[in-house]
Structure 1
Amino acid sequence: MTLKIAVIGAGVVGLSSALCLAQNFPTCEVTVIASEFYPERQGITSVHGFGIIGHRREGLNTNPKVSDWLLKTREYCRRMHPTVAELAGIRPIDAILTFHEKGEQGLNSVLPERARCLQNLKKITEKQAKELFPLSQDGAMELLFPPLKAEHNLFAFETSTYVIDSSLYLPWLKNELASLKMSNGEARVTFVCRKISNLDELTSEFDLVVNCAGFNAGKIANDPNIFPIRGQYISIEKTIGIEKVIAGRETVVCPRVNDICLGGVYQEGRSDTQVDPQDTESILRRCETLVPAVKGAKVLRVDVGIRPARYGGARLELEWWQRNLKPSSEVLNTTKLPVIHNYGHGGTGFAVHWGCALEVARLAKSTYSERAKLSMAFKIAVIGAGVNGLASALCLCHQFPDCEITVIASEFYPEKKNLCSAHGFGVVINRETGVLDSPNVTKHVLATMKFCASLHPTEAEYAGIRPSDAVVLFNQKKDFIDSMISVGDREKLGFRNASRKEIEMFNHMNDGGAKLVLFENFEEAPLTIYNCPAYIIDTSKYLPWLKNKLLQKCKRNGDKMVTFLTKEVTSFVELSPTFDLVVNCSGCGAKTLASDPMVIPIRGQYIKAHVPSVDKVYVAASTVICPVSNHVCIGATHQLGRFETHVIPEDTEKFLYKFKTLLPSFGKPEVILSDVGIRPGRVGGARLEVEVVKVKESSGNLPVVHNYGHGYRGIGQHWGCALDVAQIAVQALGQGSKL
């Protein structure tokens, strides 16, 4: 059974909450319920909003968390890709904020919180402020800052912020929701035009309700603290010379994409929506006084919106509502309905909307995730018995102490030697990124290093894991190196510049011929050498260690948690309804199993040799020299699109020549054997996400967590990926029929 969520309200708070929930619960179904939708109807409060991030009215009705919500909304705007932001009507803009306070002391009473919320806040001198704003004429200050007090001074600040054009942003949010699909192509989000009077109307239909009903939210939630704030603003045509937001108390001049908004009024307790001519005249006079360029501009329209405010501040919290169930109800919880209230933001709705949406998602997770973690005996299938499959299974055991896990694979190591992981070097290090890499590589490598470091030395020895130093050589210009692995990532991973002794060891590499041997993309650039920590994993020991760990796992009642099944899986549907969740670590097999054309084989050949003097890892482009147990691995090829598993003698000779070129003083390696493995790569990076697979109507949907396509990085980041698998499973099973 799929988690069914209702969001009441189709303003900016409601639509953003719905989108954030859909992103955080990838198998849920969301229904947005509202009495009207924009642009079909124009009565939604958000349509009349300025959409300025960071300019908000201070007062007694402010929730103490507003600043944090605002910061998160600003960060959301900052991170949005410019092309997407343009479609959404979001753009960065400079602003000038004016205050009229009693000296520095009065200013400091309102500034600290604003300073934390605003970017690049810079004070303008009083002289500059008076030059910017011609407020010396009679009545100007009284008009802008009533009631005017003689002992107060004018202060002004420059800052950077964002403006959201509501006429573009609301349709964009709705389109984003409408574009979300199930794996069978059906819509995940539906829009229902319906007026809700009481939460009891929804208790039989949904598993979670989010109340973003604005002014109507008080009636729905029996909250007497809701009150209206009437706002009126004027839209004028774009005017040359007005490129910044200019604000002074209630007076605001805000250039948007297609117009300039002038405001406003802040009339508590009024809910009338008719345009007041006196307010229109007042707004024009104040804006013309603050920004003379406004005078004479063509008025496009005058609008009124009712802001839903609340005494004590916005309400954003979880409440358990007693259900009024119908006999035929099919909902996850049969006693109480979790309701998340998100209303009462007054004039700050746009400024805090995404921060509030993130909080809604967090509250929703807290409701379902813990029960998923601690309750039912879920049945989980893990496809694949390589390092990613076994590590994912072990992490799932830790996350779900009463689950039953079946590891399914066509073969298991060491009974059969054809597993890709059995041919891996097992070096936990991040040396560069490329088109086949995920953006989370560094995060996953760091988590894997932390796991290796956490093992007791005796346990690590059994697992074939040991710490080592690594020397990494680059033959690119600094800006190109930074694009492959950023300065920040290098710091996180413990990279340091090589010592003089280490540099002298590679003086022979200054010869162009030597560089040409090791660096296929040779360019005229100085050799850059780093030293960093690494871990070496002997896969011939590590795979059996993982399997033994799984065999030892027991549920709290003493029953075995994990079984191993030798079977070729050809379709996810064949695993339903036996399993509640499937984790797909099928490597190259994911190309057909998951119908993923981005999966690409990468042929890797390497040699095992005796070289007693090699005691650390050396990396130069695709050449890796790694001491493992009682031998040294030298390799490896990185041949995209090739499946052949036989040893190619020419490749073996290349490795020996590269070894001699990189480390000539170490002598000739004594070759033990050559080996080949096929790594499962993926264009665009590894796939680590949940997919909802539609099965028979009676069985519902089957969540499948994909974890494949890591290429040669599989062992280096396996534990970090396994941790993500467990967290994704918590979310997916938190919506499952077992709850």
Structure 2
Amino acid sequence: MSDLKIAVVGAGVIGVTTALEIQNNIRNAHVSIIADKLNEDTTSWVAAGLFRPGNSFAGPNREVTQKWINDSYHHWENIRDSSYGVEAGVAEISGYIFSSEHPSIVRNQYIEKLVPIYRRATEQELSLCPGQWKYGSFFSTIITQSTLYLPWAVSRFQSSGGELIQKHIDSLQSIGNEFDVIVNCTGLGAKYLCEDYKLVSIRGQVIKMQAPWIKTFFYNDYDTYIIPGFDGLTLGGTRQYDSYNRNIDKNDGISIRERCMSLVPSLKGGKELKQMVGLRPHRDPVRVEKEILVSHGKSIKVVHNYGHGGYGISTAPGTAIYACQLVRECLIGNSKI
């Protein structure tokens, strides 16, 4: 019996995680990842990878959204607890979020009952960082460093027979004759590939720094954050809606540096490594659904999985599981399955 041929288009964290999920769970599936951008050229490469989906993150409804988040957390937790957790770039981390504006800023509807600890900060903890902090929370969560995870996941995918094809495609229809199902994980590229104008860019600029004495993460108002990773810190950030500027902005860098060093003054002794920019693919709701395209009289089965905004690493496993179920639905009646 010949293999099912499934293409996953896109090699960021969404694409690679989805490809692994399909490979592991659909019998007789030969999975190919097709992408023109790999590793350091993906938006995922810029992200800090802290598991903290924002309150604005939304799937088709609240129940599905919460399931995506729960499934994602347990997936990352399983990798963290495995023998290859460090190699995959997944670890536990704890830290604080402070606000001088409103108590809702330090709450999180999705993860407060999911992560092992999520509690109100004490008065003493509110004074850990300079500032007039009125509200705060301390919580433990998971970090997934994409610069480790992506190479690990691609290697795992290829060692299990997956194929990685680096090329640009102009349309999903152009590869429709080659595959039983196409899974579209193209992130911001879907804006043009699918003419989906609900998808917008939210520009993020960060600073990568070495300051090994900082072991906990810190967030505060105004999109300011300091997140330790395996080999350095990510300092942020910006959240510029509908901006497509991929260049480093000097003024953004100055603002990030000043805000972060005001929050944690010991950062002044750190070593700045580089600045990076990523364009987050934001869509409300995130699109994970089936579609039938028609090209030259032939029906092409497509499953979309894109639009995660700044929460792609956090929620990739959950939407990958959901997308894999949709792929299976597309294959009902296929004699190869």
Alignment partner, residue 14 of structure 2: 13
1:237-248 alignment to 2 at 5 Å?
A: 237-240=210-213, 242-248=214-220
**Equivalent runs, 1:587-666 vs 2, <5 Å:** none
Match of 1:30 in 2: 31
Native 8 Å contact 1:76 1:354 kept in 2 = yes
Distance 1:74 1:365, change over 3 A: same
Q: For residue 367 of structure 1, report the CA deviation from its aligned partner.
A: 2.1
**Contact 1:53 1:70 survives alignment (8 Å):** no
CA distance in 1 between partners of 2:66 and 2:237 (Å): 22
Aligned partners of 2:114 and 2:175: how far apart in 1? 37
Matched, 1:294 2:287: no
Write out per-residue CA displacement over residues 651-703 of structure 1, whole angstroms, 9 at most, x where no aligned residue: xxxxxxxxxxxxxxxxxxxxxxxxxxxxxxxxxxxxxxxxxxxxxxxxxxxxx
Residues 198 and 219 in structure 1, CA contact (< 8 A), matched pair in contact too: no
Question: Where do 1:181-260 residues align within 5 Å?
Answer: 188-240=161-213, 242-249=214-221, 250-260=223-233
Kindly indicate whether residue 112 of structure 2 is the aligned counterpart of residue 115 of structure 1: yes
Report Cα offsets for 1:528-553 as digits up to 9, x if no partner.
Answer: xxxxxxxxxxxxxxxxxxxxxxxxxx
- Give the C-alpha shift of residue 261 in structure 1: 0.9
Larger Rg: 1
Q: Structure 1, residues 563-611: CA drift from partner, whole Å, max 9, x if none?
A: xxxxxxxxxxxxxxxxxxxxxxxxxxxxxxxxxxxxxxxxxxxxxxxxx
| Displacement of 1:190 | 1.2
Select the residue among 269, 284, 289 that pairs with 2:242.
Answer: 269
Opposite residue 47 of structure 2, the aligned amino acid is G
- Alpha-carbon distance change, 239 to 171 in structure 1, aligned in 2, over 3 angstroms: same
2:112 is aligned with what amino acid?
A: A
What's the offset of the Cα at 1:296? 2.7
For residues 79 and 208 of structure 1, the distance between their equivalents in structure 2, rounded to whole angstroms, comes to: 28
Deviation at 1:34, TM superposition (A): 0.7
**Counterpart amino acid of residue 161 in structure 1:** T
RMSD value, Cα: 1.9
What's the TM-score, normalizing by structure 1? 0.43
Alpha carbons 1:239, 1:293 under 8 Å: kept: no
| Residue 148 of structure 2 corresponds to residue 168 of structure 1 | yes
- Measured after TM superposition, the shift of residue 209 of structure 1 is 0.4
Q: For the Cα contact (< 8 Å) 2:55–2:109, is it kept in 1? A: no
Instruction: Please tell me the residue identity of whatever aligns with 1:97.
Output: I
Distance, in Å, in 2 between the alignment partners of 1:317 and 1:117 is 26
Shift of 1:114: 4.1
CA positional deviation for 1:321: 1.4
Give the superposition deviation at 1:77. Answer: 1.6
Q: Which amino acid aligns with 1:175?
A: S
**Aligned-residue offset at 1:289:** 1.5
Aligned to 2:95: 95
Q: Shift of residue 50 of structure 1?
A: 1.1
> What is the DSSP-based 3-state SS (H/G/I as helix, E as strand, rest coil) of the residue aligned with 2:165?
strand
Cα deviation 1:379-403 (Å, max 9, x = unaligned): xxxxxxxxxxxxxxxxxxxxxxxxx
**Could you tell me which of 106, 129, 135 is aligned with 2:131?**
135
Aligned amino acid, residue 44 of structure 1: T
Identity of aligned residues (%): 28
SS in 2 for 1:347: helix
Question: Residue by residue, what CA displacement relative to the aligned partner does 1:102-160 show, whole Å, maximum 9, x if unpaired?
Answer: 4x6x569x5433424433111113x2243212215xxxxxxxxxxxxxxxx72111111
Instruction: State how 1:422-461 maps to structure 2 within 5 Å.
Output: none
Higher relative contact order (CA 8 A, sep 6+): 2
3-state SS of paired residue (2:285) = coil
Q: CA deviation at 1:98?
A: 2.1
Equivalents in 2 of 1:66, 1:98: separation in Å?
A: 25
Verify: 1:322 aligned to 2:302, yes or no: no
- Aligned 8 A contact 1:245 1:253 in 2: yes
Determine helix, strand or coil for the equivalent of 2:75: helix
Contact 2:126 2:135 in 1 (8 A): no
Tell whether the 8 Å contact from 1:129 to 1:155 is kept in structure 2 after alignment: no
CA apart distance, 1:198: 1.3
Cα drift, residue 213 of structure 1 = 0.5
TM-score of the pair, normalised by structure 2: 0.92
> What secondary structure does 1:74 align onto?
helix
Gaps of 5+ in 2: none
Deviation of 1:68 after TM superposition, in Å, equals 2.4
Quick one: distance in 2 between partners of 1:347 and 1:303?
Answer: 15
- Give per-residue Cα distances to partners, 1:478-510, cap 9 Å, x unaligned: xxxxxxxxxxxxxxxxxxxxxxxxxxxxxxxxx
Q: Confirm or deny: 8 A CA contact 2:201 2:241 kept in the other structure.
A: yes
Alignment partners' CA distance in 2, 1:97 and 1:22: 38
> What is the CA deviation profile of residues 503-526 of structure 1, one whole-angstrom value per residue up to 9, with x for unaligned ones?
xxxxxxxxxxxxxxxxxxxxxxxx
**Structure 1 residue 268 displacement after superposition:** 0.7
SS at match of 1:204: helix
Does 1:308 find its partner at 2:293? no
Q: Is the CA contact 2:51–2:141 (under 8 Å) kept in the aligned structure 1?
A: yes
When residues 58 and 107 of structure 1 are mapped into structure 2, their CA distance, relative to the original with a 3 A threshold, is closer
Query: 1:71 maps to what in 2?
Result: 70
Alpha carbons of structure 1 residues 287 and 198: separation in structure 2 relative to 1, 3 Å = same
Q: Separation in 2 of the partners of 1:13 and 1:112? A: 23
Matching residue's letter, 2:314: A
Task: State the Cα deviation string for residues 2-39 of structure 1 (Å, max 9, x = none).
Answer: 2111111000000000000000113111111111222x
Unaligned runs of 5+ in 1: 137-152, 181-187, 326-334, 373-732
1:189-588 mapped onto 2 (5 Å cutoff): 189-240=162-213, 242-249=214-221, 250-310=223-283, 312-324=284-296, 335-369=298-332, 371=333
Q: 2:47 maps to what in 1?
A: 49
Task: Give the superposition deviation at 1:239.
Answer: 2.5
Distance 2:301 2:215 in 1: 45
Cα separation, partners in 2 of 1:111 and 1:161, compared to 1, 3 Å: closer
Q: Deviations over 1:64-100 (max 9, x none)?
A: 4443222211111211243211110111111212234
Aligned residue for 1:52, secondary structure, equals coil
- Residue 238 of structure 1 and its aligned partner are, at CA, apart by 3.3
Does structure 1 conserve the Cα–Cα contact (< 8 Å) formed by 2:211 and 2:269? no
- Deviation string for 1:601-657 (max 9, x for gaps)? xxxxxxxxxxxxxxxxxxxxxxxxxxxxxxxxxxxxxxxxxxxxxxxxxxxxxxxxx
Residues of 1 paired with 2:105 and 2:86: CA distance? 36
Aligned residues: 331
Counterpart of 1:570 in structure 2 is none
- How far, CA to CA, are the matches of 1:337 and 1:321 in structure 2? 5
Deviations 1:289-315 (A, max 9, x none): 2112212311011101111112x2211
By how many angstroms is 1:171 displaced?
0.2
Tell me what 1:183 maps to.
none
Which residue is 1:631 aligned to? none
Mapped partners of 2:127, 2:300: distance in 1: 59
Superposed displacement of residue 368, structure 1: 2.0
Aligned mates of 1:8, 1:107 — CA distance in 2: 36
CA distance in 1, matches of 2:96, 2:134: 13
Distance 1:99 1:197 in 2: 45
Contact 1:315 1:344 in 2 (8 A): yes
Change (3 A) 1:27 1:347: same
- The amino acid across from 2:182 in the alignment is V
